[in-house]
A and B are shown apart, each in its own frame.
Chain A
Amino acid sequence: MAEYLVDIKNERLSFFTPAGEVKALNDVSIRLKEGEVLGIVGESGSGKSVTAYSLMGLTAHPGKLLGGELQFNGHEIETMSEKEMRKIRGNEISIIFQDPMTSLNPVYTIGNQITEVIRLHTDKDGAQAKARARELLELVGINEPDKRLKQYPHELSGGMRQRVMIAIALACEPKLLIADEPTTALDVTIQAQILELMMELKDKLGMAIIMITHDLGVVASMCERIAVMYAGRIVEYGTTDDIFYNPKHQYTKGLIRSIPRLDTKEHERLIPIEGTPVDLLNPPAGCPFAPRCDAAMKICLREMPPETSFGDVHYTKCWLSQKEEFEKGASHE
């Protein structure tokens, strides 16, 4: 048994579009133990979802894995055939998508869509699968499960549909649940319910969760580890405390500055991160955040910063940290 449930090393992935190669993931490494919750945060197009999808072998055409190792639960994902991947998907790794309104097939009943995945991955017969589906609906807190099994997605509310999606994802008791912005499309009150449900189920079933989001509030309350992504790279990685109380990368600092706080004074403005995300078709030679960074130095524009570690877990890729650590090291001597 490997030490980690998920161990992604130096993953590189590009989309080969007519306009050219879009480097979606550059040297991404992620580790996750069983039962851990990892949050991946970053703005749209930073590679959060692509990282997770590639782990399920769901990289959409024209995406192509160019390098790196992707280990999951003892499987070498990058070497597996589509047929082998199908046995893992929906079984050992499941996913919940952003928009529950469109993620369920409108022409089949809820029952049909849940039992489908149970019958695919287990040898339960029709009646047993149905009983399991009923059990799952109860587990995710849906009332009148017998009635719901016969209903169609359009007869349920958004929150209910997301619960159904969770039920489908949990049908085969996965080791890893990927939640791709599971609450973005829901009302705030429903958001809280869904997040609470996920944490509850995590404790009950002991699965690991990768939480993809651009909502720092969500990761703060749910995750043990956080990876901050920018332009297809992990720019900072650490425990939740590291990221919130001791952020090192200028981008992470910027993200945290831009959240409204309870002690924010009236008329005080939030500080946005100026500029626009980098064009992944023509990424800059140096740090991708350098053009938007207040503290950018000459070297930032020329060369990609190496990793600077602070302790076992926390690391960042920023020349500033590199410089500080170097100066600290020099003063000790």
Chain B
Amino acid sequence: MAKYIVKRILLAIVTIWAVATLTFFLMNLVPGGPFLSEKAISPQAQAALEAKYGLDKPMIQRYLNYVTSAAHGDFGDSLKQRGRTVMSIITMKFPVSARVGGISVLVSLILGIPLGCIAALKRGKATDSVISVVATCGIAVPSFVICTVMMYFFGVKLGILPTMGLETAKHYIMPVTALSFYPTAYIMRLMRSSMLDVLGQDYMRTARAKGLAGGKILFKHALRNAILPVVTYVGPMLAYTITGSFVVEKIFVIPGLGGEFIKAINGRDYTLIMGTTIFLATLVIVMNVIVDIIYKIVDPRIKLK
């Protein structure tokens, strides 16, 4: 296990380096720059700014400089948000997104797993059809539609839910619902199909032949085998969800990290683009390692190599 974790960390460093390199050069290939705006600034001022941030140097030089300082944990200053480091922006915005996203993932697990199981157990009956239709809708309808519809009904028409900010628990209801809609639907479908598969297995028949009660058979023998696809999906999904959704954050005016991604790209805020990308890549990698370890715990047949 220790050997496996060391190996994964080394591999992770290589992956993050590759992601950083690719992002760095692709981002620099895009025309434009951080200091171009509609209000033209004097060439001298622009040159001074570029010199200050080291943008006047050749690309290879800048790349090497960035990698060296990033390796030392310095991700530089934001080019657009004056006086703030990339790190400070991430540490300030990430907790907000993580809270909304984390709650959403929790909600989708709490709803998705049991509903998927119920659909599988009631296969072909009305309950199954209703759950399947809802799940398909959840996957097909984009989140901005859900946001807008909810905002119109609960925020404007009925006036029972606040439409912006995150001050009270009530504020979380709509953004969390919007964010958890898709994953809930997806988990429901995953759970249903893997549960159906497990229910047909021979060891389920053995469990019944032992005289075990329905609940015990379901929770002990079926669920642990059926949950694996959900574990696989939830790992990376958690990484993406807790780093924030641009759409949901924009609509509900949530000061999260999701908005920063898009703002950084639009404004060619090179250092922030790099910082957020590396941050997301790291999270995804960490989640994948955690998923692998959980996998090993749930299913002893899996060998971590």
Contact = CB atoms under 8 A, between A and B. Distances in A.
B210 A107 contact: no
Interface in B197-222: 201-203, 205-213, 220-221
A87 B225 contact: no
A107 B213 CA distance: 19
A168 B205 CA distance: 13
Contacts of A88: 211
B56 interface: no
Contacts of A103: 202-203, 205-206
Interface stretch (A37-45, A94-102, A248-256, A265-273): A94-102
A178 B173 CA distance: 56
A247 interface: no
A171 to B, nearest CB: 9
Interface stretch (A68-76, A114-122, A125-133, A237-245): A114-122
Contacts of A104: 203, 206
Contacts of B203: 102-106
A292 interface: no
A254 to B, nearest CB: 31
A314 B208 CA distance: 35
B157 interface: no
B223 to A, nearest CB: 10
Contact of B202 (A86, A102, A107, A152): A102
Interface centre among B205, B210, B225 (most CB of A within 10 A): B210
Nearest to A169: B209
Given A107-B224, A107-B225, A86 B213 contact: yes
Contacts of A105: 203, 206-207, 221, 225
Q: Chain B contact residues: over half helix, strand or loop, or mixed?
A: helix
A165 B209 CA distance: 11
Given A97-B202, A102-B203, A105-B203, A121 B211 contact: yes
A120 B211 contact: yes
Contacts of B299: 106-107
A89 interface: yes
Interface in B207-266: 207-213, 220-221, 224-225
Nearest to A85: B211
B202 A117 contact: no
Given A105-B221, A106-B301, A154-B301, A97 B211 contact: no
By size class, the interface of chain A is 20 to 34
A288 interface: no
A159 interface: no
B300 interface: yes
B133 to A, nearest CB: 22
> Which one of A90, A104, A107, A108 has the highest number of Cβ atoms from chain B below 10 Å of its Cβ?
A107
B283 to A, nearest CB: 28
B11 interface: no
Given A99-B202, A105-B203, A105-B225, A89 B209 contact: yes
Contacts of B205: 58, 97, 103
Given A97-B205, A103-B202, A103-B203, A116 B301 contact: no
Contacts of B207: 105
Contact of A56 (B209, B220, B224, B225): B209
Contacts of B301: 106-107, 152, 154
A86 B202 CA distance: 18
B202 A89 contact: no
A37 to B, nearest CB: 20
Contact of A89 (B211, B220, B224, B225): B211
A91 interface: yes
A94 B209 contact: yes
B231 to A, nearest CB: 13
B226 to A, nearest CB: 10
Given A102-B201, A103-B203, A106-B301, A120 B210 contact: yes
A219 B150 CA distance: 69
B209 A90 contact: yes
B194 to A, nearest CB: 13
Contacts of B224: 107
A249 B300 CA distance: 51
A120 B212 contact: yes
A223 to B, nearest CB: 22
A117 B211 contact: yes
Contacts of A120: 210-212
B134 interface: no
A94 B202 CA distance: 15
Given A106-B203, A116-B210, 10 more contacts: A58-B205, A90-B211, A97-B206, A102-B203, A105-B203, A107-B225, A107-B300, A116-B212, A117-B211, A120-B212
25 contacts: A56-B209, A58-B208, A85-B211, A86-B213, A90-B209, A91-B211, A95-B209, A97-B206, A97-B209, A102-B201, A102-B202, A103-B205, A105-B206, A105-B221, A106-B300, A106-B301, A107-B298, A107-B300, A107-B301, A108-B221, A116-B210, A117-B210, A120-B210, A120-B212, A121-B211
